[in-house]
Amino acid sequence: MNTTIPNLIDEVSDLLNIGVSEVFRTMLTLEAKPAAVLHDWHASGETLVAGSVGFIGDVNGVVYVHVTAGFARKLASRMLGLAEAELEGDEMVNDVIGELSNMIVGNVKSRLCDSGAPCVLTIPSIVRGQNFKIEPVHSCERRLLAFRCDADHIMVELLMKHST
C-alpha cells in the first residue's frame, strides 16, 4: 500500500466507518449512523468505557471505541441476550466492548492486508473512567469519528503512525 499518511489515515477512517456499521448491524441489529463529532465528549463527567485494539506491521495504529458506561451495559445486554441486571459487574460489559472493538479493527486489518499492507492485531484492552482523553504522541496522526444509535453515541478514535 504505497500512499502517504494523510491518504492512508483517510482510507483507514473510511474502513472504520464501514466496520462500525457492519459490526453493530450484524452483532447487535443496531444502526450506527455517522454523526457530528461532539465537542468535549470526553469531559462530560459520565463514566466512559473505551475498547482499544492496535494493528502492527506495514501500517501501525490503534483504535479506541468509546461509549458511555450506560450504553456499554445496553450493548452487552443486547449482544449476550441477558437482562442488564444479569450482567455480572463490569467484567462482562468490558468483554463485550473489547470484542466489538476487536471485530471492528479486525475488519480493517483484513482489508489492509488484502490491499498489500500486512499487519497483525493486538489483544483488546479496556480503559474505563471519567474525564480522560487519549493524547497522541508527536509522530502520530489522529482522526475522530462519531456515530449515533438513536440517543446514544459512539466515538471512534484512530491514531496512526508510519513504520520505520
Spatial neighbors of 94 by CB under 8 A, at least 6 apart, are 49, 126, 128
Kindly state whether residue 103 participates in binding another protein, applying the rule CB under 8 A. Answer: yes
Q: Report how far residue 163's alpha carbon sits from residue 50's, in angstroms, rounded to the nearest whole number.
A: 25
The CB density around residue 104, as the number of other CB atoms within 10 Å, is 26
Kindly state whether residue 57 participates in binding another protein, applying the rule CB under 8 A. Answer: no
Kindly state whether residue 52 participates in binding another protein, applying the rule CB under 8 A. Answer: no
Q: Report how far residue 70's alpha carbon sits from residue 91's, in angstroms, rounded to the nearest whole number.
A: 14
For the chain, how are helix, strand and coil distributed in percent, rounded to 5?
Answer: 40, 30, 25
We find the least distance from the C-beta atom of residue 138 to another protein, in angstroms, to be 29
Do residues 7 and 162 lie in contact, with contact meaning Cβ atoms separated by under 8 Å? no
Kindly state whether residue 49 participates in binding another protein, applying the rule CB under 8 A. Answer: no
Kindly state whether residue 58 participates in binding another protein, applying the rule CB under 8 A. Answer: no
* Of 30, 96, 155, 156, the one binding another protein by CB under 8 A: 96
Of the two residues 42 and 124, which places its CB atom closer to another protein in the complex?
124
Q: Report how far residue 108's alpha carbon sits from residue 44's, in angstroms, rounded to the nearest whole number.
A: 29
Q: Which of 47, 101, 54, 48 is nearest to 79 (CA)?
A: 101
Kindly state whether residue 27 participates in binding another protein, applying the rule CB under 8 A. Answer: yes
Phi, psi of 125 (to 5 degrees): -135, 165
Kindly state whether residue 109 participates in binding another protein, applying the rule CB under 8 A. Answer: yes
Kindly state whether residue 121 participates in binding another protein, applying the rule CB under 8 A. Answer: yes
Kindly state whether residue 92 participates in binding another protein, applying the rule CB under 8 A. Answer: yes
Kindly state whether residue 81 participates in binding another protein, applying the rule CB under 8 A. Answer: yes
Kindly state whether residue 98 participates in binding another protein, applying the rule CB under 8 A. Answer: yes
We find the least distance from the C-beta atom of residue 73 to another protein, in angstroms, to be 13
Binding footprint of another protein on the chain (CB under 8 A):
22-23, 26-27, 76, 79-81, 91-92, 95-96, 98-99, 102-103, 105-107, 109-114, 118, 120-121, 123
